[in-house]
Structure formats: structure tokens, C-alpha cells
DNA sequence: CGCAAGTTTGACGTACATCAAGTAGTGTGG
DNA sequence: CCACACTACTTGATGTACGTCAAACTTGCG
């Protein structure tokens, strides 16, 4: 394999930061902290804003915060020396990221589109967890969900074809977007390619093929409607009829 | 991609089970419970034995236990409908597995070689965690380490070549075996292939090439000596000089 | 509007998969 | 202890899904 020079430009301009959260931030940005856990989270959260392609944190940075997406979208990725890039995950409003319960972040986190994020100091979270069982459970469940998603990613990357990967990706995104078959793809084709372990051209061709097969409708590069869910699911689950 | 009919035979014979642990089981099977955490773990652990290829649990089973390897080796895997298999991870003596803090196990766990394993009921672990901060920390750190390893697996599967994957695998195994360059590979070539997202033939050819390049020595299919660590590390880190 | 960035499409190349023999190892029973 | 069978591994010849290179097209922002 020769170098893949498809590196996204990375600007590092945090546009505003470290204002005390003026609104409750637990349930996807809704108002009213119902339970003590939400209140605790709210009290330690700081709102941050990032421009497109700005880094929230870099690989190797001390992992002192956990983050939650309020609006926009975040990607976590690693770039090899010759430019090959792998995206570990995408995070949409409501998702937590940066859950590296280690000394350092293992991946870089960047804004895919202009994003608003709340950061929670890990030291505080650990402290709360010592007394509030709810916090302990929340952290465990977040970590566990993240592990589960990453393991599914492994199966996909290790054993599925390009079309299967795409179907898997679209369906995953649908599930996270309140099961709405009209999808908004905030990320570029390059991001999708680097997430699925493919090239931008293969992703583009794959989408075109789905369009030709009437499995999806495409309306602009960032709007997709899933039309034949069953066919896509069969593909995504590797029930190969290739 | 057509069907890959390289499925390992799966016998489901647990050879002996559910005896109360007669010795302390925290630190890789050593004796003497030093701290209260080890004692707590010891008191709730049950020793289980599994024959080669026997299942510890299956994908979809309720996730009621967490396990620790005492001797032998374990693999966790998922098999797609047409026989394609992906191995999520290998577990060696001292490693914990089955850390699905969800209702069900997402993968099947099987013994690679005859194995002795200790099982800890999750309900008990949760209970202990509520009062003992140490248990909480242990569980978080285990989950986090597992997530970290899985994320590295993702990068490898998504963006590395066959030779890079092999180098990565060998070095990873070395790190987990007390950094001894004389490696014992308990798993078959098929297991390695299904872990690295390759075929058995590609793994075999890759090992032969390393041998020809004098990067490793091979003495029987399950004994490897890493000779040029730097060259292997350069490969594993994707510092491509392909 | 006009340009630059992003996307699609086509022609061609290649790393790895597949198919097919052969060659160790490993355990079993005579 | 050796013959046998069986499984695991290796090696070679060939195929193909996806990558690479290149050019046209589309989109969206200044």
C-alpha cells in the first residue's frame, strides 16, 4: 500500500471556551435537571464551541475531561505517519466522548461541523462517582456502550465488504438519529471512507450503486433517505447474497 | 466476497464447573490475598475448566458473569451467517474478559487451548463496587483498557497492510507475555487470520516472509522468536517503507 | 458570479483472496 | 516403535474487490 494523501486540514481554533454552563446539559441539551445526577453534571460542565475541523483534544493529551456533544458533530481519529487515517467514531448531539479512563487520550477529537460541546472534569466525575451510585452506573454504562460499538466496528472492518460496510454505516446512523430514514450526513465522503476503512472513491461508488438499486435516495451529498431497510439490513448483517 | 468456509469446530463440553475457588485468584493466579479487594474477589470467584474449543459463553447469552483467565487461552469471536468469523480478542492468563456491562454478551468466548477460568457474578461485583471504591476503579480500568485495545484493533483493521498487521500482532503478544521475545502462540493460524481480518494463507505467507527477512525465527508453528524488534515496530506503527 | 473544495465517474493496477496441491506435525492403535 | 490417519500449515497459480490515478462534474461560499 502506498501513501494515501487524503488528510483533512486541521485548524486548531477554539472559538470560545470555558464559560460556566448557563443551561442544564444532561439529556441531549434539554432544560430542567430532573434528578441529582443531572444537577451534579450540570454544575461541573463547561460549555465549549469549536469551529469545523478544530481539535477538541489531541492524541496523547492528558485525559482530564469527558465531553458531551450538544450540537454539531465530532469525530475521533488517528493519523499514521504516512497520512493514512482511521476514524474511530462519530459523535452526534447527546453522545459522550473522550471516555479514556487512562492517563492520555488515545485519539484526536475534531469537530466535523461547527460544534458545541460540554466538558466535564474527570476528577469531579470520579469524586461524584464515589458517593453517587448513579454516576458510577452512568460511567460504566457509557464505557460499556462505547466498547460494544467499537467491537462491532471491528467485525465490520475485519470481515465485511464495501457495500456491507456502507449499509452498516447508514443503518447505524439511522438508529442514532431517532430511527428516521431521512438521514443527515454531517461528515464528508472522506470521513466516511476513513471510518469504514475504504477510500473516498469506493464510498462514492457504493452510494451510487445503492442509488441505482433503489435502496436509497440521495439529495445532495449530505442528505440520504433509506428506502429498502430490509435489503440494507440483510447486507449489514452479512447475510451475503453477493 | 464468497463464503469463507474456515470455521473452527466448536465442541460445547465444559469439563468441570462451579467449584468454590480454593485459592486466591486476583494477581494472575498467585497466592495470598493482600488487600481487601483481592479477598472480596476471591470470595465470589468460581473456578471453571474448559476443553479446547469449548464455549465459556455464547453471543446473546445473558451477561451475568465476568471472567478471568488462570491458565490456557480464550478467544472472543462472532460468526456471520455465511461462516465469516471475526475474533475480537485473545485473553491470556491474568486477563479479564466478558466485560459486557450490558444485558447480553456481544460475542462468543471459547477456549483456544484447555483453559482454567474464574467467574465472578456481576451482581456481586456491582454490589462490592457500591461500597468499595477500589472495585469501582478496577472495573473502570478494566473496561477502559479493553476499549483502548479494541480501538487500536480498529486502526489496525481499517488501515494497515497484511505485514503491518502481523508485526502489530506479534509485538502486542510480546508485550502481554512479559516482554519476552520468545513467543508462544497458543492460537492456530486460522485464529490469527480471523483476528487480523486476513486469510490463513496470507498469515502463513506473511510469517514466511518475516522468516526470510530474518525479522523472526520460527520453531514449530507455535513458537516464534522476534529478532529485529525495531523493524517490526516500524512496520506495526505504520511507518511504511513498503 | 466565480472559484475552490468536495464529489462522482472512468480506466487501470495491485494486495490479498481463492482454489488447489503438497508437506509437516500430532495423536492412535497395532 | 512404527504405520496410519488426520489436522494444521505452507506454497504456488490464478482471480477479484478495492485502491490508485486522472478528469469531469457539482456545490456552496466569498
Condensed to tens digits (0 to 9), the pLDDT of residues B175-217 reads 998 889 999 999 999 999 999 999 999 999 999 999 999 999 9
Asked if residue B80 and residue B151 are part of one domain, the reply reads yes
Asked if residue A39 and residue A95 are part of one domain, the reply reads yes
CA distance B132 to B187: 37
B143/A148 touch (CB, cutoff 8 Å), yes or no: no
Residue A26 burial class via C-beta count within 10 angstroms: exposed 0-12, middle 13-18, buried 19 and up = buried
A238/B107 touch (CB, cutoff 8 Å), yes or no: no
Q: CA(A232)–C1'(D22) in Å?
A: 32
Asked if residue B213 and residue B118 are part of one domain, the reply reads no
Q: CA(B159)–C1'(D19) in Å?
A: 12
Exposure string of B177-198, with b = 16+ CB inside 10 Å and e = fewer, is eeeebebebbbebbbbbbbbbb
Condensed to tens digits (0 to 9), the pLDDT of residues A64-90 reads 999 999 999 999 999 999 999 999 999
Q: Nine-digit cell at B65?
A: 458473569
Q: Residue A220, CB, less than 7 Å from strand D? A: yes
Q: CA(A198)–C1'(D29) in Å?
A: 29
Condensed to tens digits (0 to 9), the pLDDT of residues A191-206 reads 999 999 999 999 999 9
Residue B68: C-alpha distances to residues A32, A79, B114, B120 (Å): 43, 34, 14, 8
Residue with cell 477502559: B144
Domain boundary among A136, A156, A176: A156
Q: Which of residues 129-188 of A touch B (CB under 8 A)?
A: 129-130, 133, 136, 139-141, 143-148, 150-155, 157-161
Asked if residue B101 and residue B18 are part of one domain, the reply reads yes
A-chain residue closest to B89, CA distance: A151
For the domain that residue A141 is a member of, what is the CATH number?
2.60.120.10
Instruction: Tell whether the model's pLDDT for residue B9 goes beyond 60.
Output: no
Residue-level pLDDT at B16: 43
Q: Nine-digit cell at B190?
A: 486460522
Higher pLDDT, B2 or A230: A230
Condensed to tens digits (0 to 9), the pLDDT of residues B108-124 reads 999 999 999 999 999 99
Higher pLDDT, B147 or A241: B147
A67, part of any domain: yes
Domain boundary among A156, A188, A214: A156
Residue-level pLDDT at A67: 98
Contacts (Cβ under 8 Å, ≥6 apart) of B99: A144, A147, B66, B139, B142, B143, B146
Q: Nine-digit cell at B139?
A: 472495573
List, in sequence order, every residue forming a beta bridge with A116; answer none if it has no partner: A49, A71
**Structural domain boundaries, residue B204:** 159-236
Condensed to tens digits (0 to 9), the pLDDT of residues A50-70 reads 999 999 999 999 999 999 999
> Can you give the pTM of this predicted structure?
0.89
When pLDDT is averaged across residues B145-174 and rounded to a whole number, the result is 98
Residue-level pLDDT at B32: 55
DSSP assignment of A181-220: SEEE--S-HHHHHHHHTS-HHHHHHHHHHHHHTTSEEESS
A241, part of any domain: no
A242, part of any domain: no
Q: Nine-digit cell at A42?
A: 450540570
CA distance A55 to A11: 7
Residue-level pLDDT at B33: 55
For the domain that residue A223 is a member of, what is the CATH number?
1.10.10.10
Q: Which of residues 95-124 of B touch A (CB under 8 A)?
A: 99-102, 106-107
Condensed to tens digits (0 to 9), the pLDDT of residues B56-98 reads 999 999 999 999 999 999 999 999 999 999 999 999 999 999 9
- With beta carbons less than 8 A apart as the criterion, state whether A63 and A98 touch: yes
B84/A238 touch (CB, cutoff 8 Å), yes or no: yes
B242, part of any domain: no
Give me the number of domains chain B comprises. Answer: 2
- Nucleotides of chain C within 7 Å of a protein C-beta? 6-11, 15-20, 25-26
- With beta carbons less than 8 A apart as the criterion, state whether B93 and B70 touch: yes
Residue-level pLDDT at A33: 56
Residue-level pLDDT at B148: 97
B241, part of any domain: no
Q: Could you say which of A140, A194, A195 has the minimum Cβ distance to residue B143?
A: A140
Say which DSSP state A174 is in.
H
Residue-level pLDDT at B34: 64
Residue-level pLDDT at B5: 36
B48, part of any domain: yes
Condensed to tens digits (0 to 9), the pLDDT of residues A127-170 reads 999 999 999 999 999 999 999 999 999 999 999 999 999 999 99
DSSP assignment of A13-38: -EEEEEEEPSS--SSTT-S---SHHH
A155/B82 touch (CB, cutoff 8 Å), yes or no: no
Asked if residue B205 and residue B103 are part of one domain, the reply reads no
DSSP assignment of A72-99: EEEEEEEE-TTS-EEEEEEE-TT-EE--
Asked if residue A121 and residue A225 are part of one domain, the reply reads no
Residue-level pLDDT at A35: 80
Residue-level pLDDT at A45: 96
Q: Residue A219, CB, less than 7 Å from strand C? A: no
Domain boundary among B140, B156, B172: B156
Instruction: Tell whether the model's pLDDT for residue B103 goes beyond 60.
Output: yes
pLDDT class of A14 with cuts at 50, 70, 90: very low
Residue-level pLDDT at A84: 97
Amino acid at each position: 500500500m502506498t501513501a494515501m494523501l487524503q488528510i483533512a486540514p486541521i485548524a486548531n481554533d477554539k472559538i470560545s471556551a470555558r464559560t460556566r454552563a448557563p443551561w442544564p446539559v444532561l439529556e441531549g441539551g434539554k432544560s430542567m435537571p430532573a434528578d441529582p445526577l443531572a444537577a451534579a453534571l450540570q454544575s461541573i460542565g463547561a460549555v465549549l464551541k469549536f469551529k469545523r475541523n478544530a481539535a477538541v483534544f489531541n492524541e496523547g493529551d492528558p485525559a482530564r475531561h469527558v465531553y458531551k456533544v450538544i450540537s454539531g458533530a465530532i469525530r475521533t481519529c488517528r493519523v499514521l505517519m504516512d497520512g493514512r487515517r482511521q476514524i474511530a467514531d462519530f459523535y452526534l448531539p447527546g453522545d459522550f466522548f473522550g471516555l479514556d479512563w487512562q492517563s492520555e487520550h488515545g485519539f484526536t477529537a475534531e469537530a466535523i461541523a461547527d460544534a458545541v460541546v460540554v466538558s466535564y472534569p474527570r476528577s469531579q466525575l470520579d469524586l461524584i462517582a464515589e458517593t453517587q451510585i448513579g454516576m458510577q452506573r452512568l460511567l460504566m454504562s457509557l464505557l460499556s456502550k462505547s466498547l460494544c460499538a467499537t467491537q462491532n466496528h471491528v467485525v465490520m472492518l475485519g470481515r465485511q465488504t464495501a457495500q456491507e460496510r456502507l449499509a452498516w454505516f447508514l443503518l447505524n446512523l439511522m438508529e442514532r438519529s431517532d430511527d428516521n430514514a431521512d438521514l443527515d450526513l454531517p461528515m464528508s465522503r472522506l470521513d466516511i471512507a476513513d471510518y469504514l476503512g475504504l477510500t473516498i472513491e469506493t464510498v462514492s461508488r457504493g452510494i451510487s450503486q445503492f442509488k441505482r438499486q433503489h435502496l436509497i435516495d440521495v439529495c445532495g451529498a449530505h442528505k440520504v433517505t433509506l428506502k429498502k431497510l430490509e435489503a440494507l439490513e440483510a447486507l449489514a448483517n452479512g447475510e451475503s447474497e453477493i
